[in-house]
Amino acid sequence: MKRNRTSYVILGMLSIEPNRSGYEIRKAVASSVGYFWGESYGQIYPALKQLAAEGLIVPTLTQAGTAKKRRQQYALTDAGRACLRGWLALPFQNDPPRNEFLLKLFFAREADPGVAIAHIRQLQELNRGAIGILEGIEKMLRQQASQSPHFPYWMLTLTLGAAMTRAALEWGESALAQLALADAGAIEDRQATKSDPPPTPEG
Amino acid sequence: MKRNRTSYVILGMLSIEPNRSGYEIRKAVASSVGYFWGESYGQIYPALKQLAAEGLIVPTLTQAGTAKKRRQQYALTDAGRACLRGWLALPFQNDPPRNEFLLKLFFAREADPGVAIAHIRQLQELNRGAIGILEGIEKMLRQQASQSPHFPYWMLTLTLGAAMTRAALEWGESALAQLALADAGAIEDRQATKSDPPPTPEG
DNA sequence: CGTGGCATGTAAACGGTTACATGATTTA
DNA sequence: TAAATCATGTAACCGTTTACATGCCACG
């Protein structure tokens, strides 16, 4: 039975906490795995229908007591849980990353000299923001979920993200320094063709 | 004029070296930017047609001298080069990464204890391989392209990839250690409920 | 000569995003 | 009751992969 990954994300989210609606699942995805996975309504709602038709999830009664909005909630069935576990045990597929930043950097020679520097600065901004967000999530996790059996795995996803982001930040600093040097070198070269060469700058 | 990114990759590749065919462009992509970008024939050939129709590239005569296979080559026009430069100067869009490894790790509590460890080991394998490939490319670049004006930018793409991969490798080691400890802890806990607690193992 | 791989291309299917439509619920 | 927003859903579109079709060239 071929199934797309959206279905597994839904099963996973319901395995962590049952009785969620499509809307809630979408929000949970964005706020937990959002920095390495995304889902849109256009995928979630059809997938919910399909999963329910196959008996992997069941619609649960919206408790009429408080009646918060009208929303159809779902919970995992035994078959759904088994399906999730089967998928988890399968080797992960690492989908080829698409990194437009690196693409532009690769072709940057064709552009004006400032372009690469501007892109790297934009990347640094993004990565600094990401570090902040990751640290925020980590703090919240430690306070609110440190006793959860999910905690160690959730922390691991965070620390990998943080480690790679920090590595990228360090790279960015050195890359900016390099490009600045190269610019200075180019200026020197231009001066050198006009007058005497000053090979090393001195105070 | 809306244009997909495949077109810019083609323009970029032709800006580095003109007179390439679709097949050659595909191969060049795979062997240079392959670890952060991919293109398939199904995109390249239609894009070539479209670019030619818009005058951004021109089909060049396959030199009848050696007649190496039949293949239609293309070269950049001035308009094509200008188009590429315009795109390069635009802020890059960072497309949300999709990382199935992290997704499975996030849900790993639902699976058997060995599953997360197996996935991390698989990741380590992949990353060790990636480091090897990146180092190979770097060596080749230093030998064959160190005088090219593209060289500094190409090196930067390599060093970012290497830095992030190395960070992931380090993370993997510590993650494996952590999970091994957790397993040992779980065993201890189970023993503790059966007999006296041995809080710290001693020779 | 014919087989295998090179090179070009196309059609179909897929996964995913976006935009839009709609009702229901809060709030002002 | 009007406006804003919540929640669900659908249709269309886009980019991409995959599978397939085909002809050409080199080599045995």
Give B50-104 pLDDT, tens digit per residue.
Answer: 999 999 999 986 554 344 556 899 999 999 999 999 999 999 998 888 999 999 9
Closest-CA distance of chain A to residue B66, Å:
31
Q: Is pLDDT of A154 > 90?
A: yes
Mean pLDDT on B6-22 = 96
Structure tokens at A79: 């078959």
Nearest protein residue by Cα to C1' of nucleotide C14 = A4
- Tell me which protein residue sits closest to nucleotide C18, measuring alpha carbon to C1': A42
Chain A nearest-CA residue for B105: A153
pLDDT at A54: 94
Burial of A57 (0-12, 13-18, 19+ CB in 10 A): buried
Q: Separation of CA B3 and C1' D19 in angstroms?
A: 26
Residue at shortest CA–C1' distance from D23: B70
Which residues of chain B neighbour A97 with C-beta distances below 8 Å? 35-36, 97
Residues 67-96 of A near strand C (Cβ < 7 Å)? 67-70
Residue of A25, A95, A153 to mutate when probing chain B, most B C-beta within 10 A = A153
Considering only alpha carbons, which residue of chain B is nearest residue A154? Answer: B106
Instruction: Sort out which chain B residues have CB atoms less than 8 A from A116's CB and list them.
Output: 153, 156
Q: Among A43-52, A181-190, B91-100, B107-116, where is mean pLDDT lowest? A: A181-190
Residue A134's contacts (CB-CB under 8 Å, 6 or more residues apart) are A35, A158, A161, A162, A165
Instruction: Report CB contact under 8 Å: A168, B153.
Output: no
- Across the interface, of B97, B112, B166, the residue whose CB is closest to A97 is B97
- Could you tell me the pLDDT band of residue B37, with boundaries at 50, 70 and 90? very high
A2 CB and strand C closer than 7 A: yes
Angle at A19 between CA A18 and CA A25, to 5 degrees: 85
| Residue of A198 and A169 predicted with greater confidence | A169
**Could you tell me if B197 lies within 8 Å of chain A, comparing CB atoms?**
no
Contact A23, A70 (CB under 8 A): no
B108 with A88: Cβ contact below 8 A: yes
Do the beta carbons of residue B76 and residue B15 sit within 8 Å? Answer: yes
Q: What is the DSSP string of chain B?
A: ----HHHHHHHHHHHHS-SEEHHHHHHHHHHHTTTT----HHHHHHHHHHHHHTTSEEEEPPPTTT--SS--EEEE-HHHHHHHHHHHHSPPP-PPP--HHHHHHHTGGGS-HHHHHHHHHHHHHHHHHHHHHHHHHHHHHHHHSTTSTTHHHHHHHHHHHHHHHHHHHHHHHHHHHHHHHHHHHHHHHHHHHHS----S---
Q: Count of CB contacts below 8 A, A vs B?
A: 196
Nucleotide nearest to B68 (CA to C1'): D25
Higher pLDDT, A201 or A58: A58
Q: What are phi and psi of B40, to 5 degrees?
A: -115, 160
- Confidence (pTM): 0.89
Q: What's the 3-state SS for B8-44?
A: HHHHHHHHHCCCEEHHHHHHHHHHHCCCCCCCCHHHH
- Strand C atom within 7 Å of B127 CB: no
HSE of B25 in the Cβ direction (CA atoms, 13 Å)? 31
> Tens digits of per-residue pLDDT, A5-18?
999 999 999 999 99
Residue with the larger pLDDT of the pair A160 and B181? A160
Task: Kindly state the average pLDDT of the residues A118-129.
Answer: 97
Sequence-distant (6+) residues with CB within 8 A of A167 are B163, B164, B166, B167
Cβ-based neighbours of B49, under 8 Å, separated by 6 or more: none
Give the pLDDT score at A187.
Answer: 65
Contacts of B94 in chain A (CB under 8 A): 99-101, 123, 126
Of B35, B110, B149, the CB nearest to A15: B110
Residue A169: the pLDDT is 98
pLDDT at B62: 58
CA–CA separation, B109 and A153 (whole Å): 7
Nearest Cα of chain A lies from the Cα of B63 at a distance, in angstroms, of 27
Number of H helices and E strands in chain A, helices first, is 7, 3
A62 touches strand C (CB under 7 A): no
Question: What local confidence, expressed as pLDDT, does residue A57 receive?
Answer: 96
Through-space separation of residue B50 CA and nucleotide C10 C1' in angstroms: 15
Within the 161-180 window of chain B, which residues sit less than 8 Å (CB to CB) from chain A? Answer: 161, 163-164, 166-168, 170-171, 175, 178-179
pLDDT single digits (tens) A48-101: 999 999 999 999 975 543 445 568 999 999 999 999 999 999 999 988 889 999
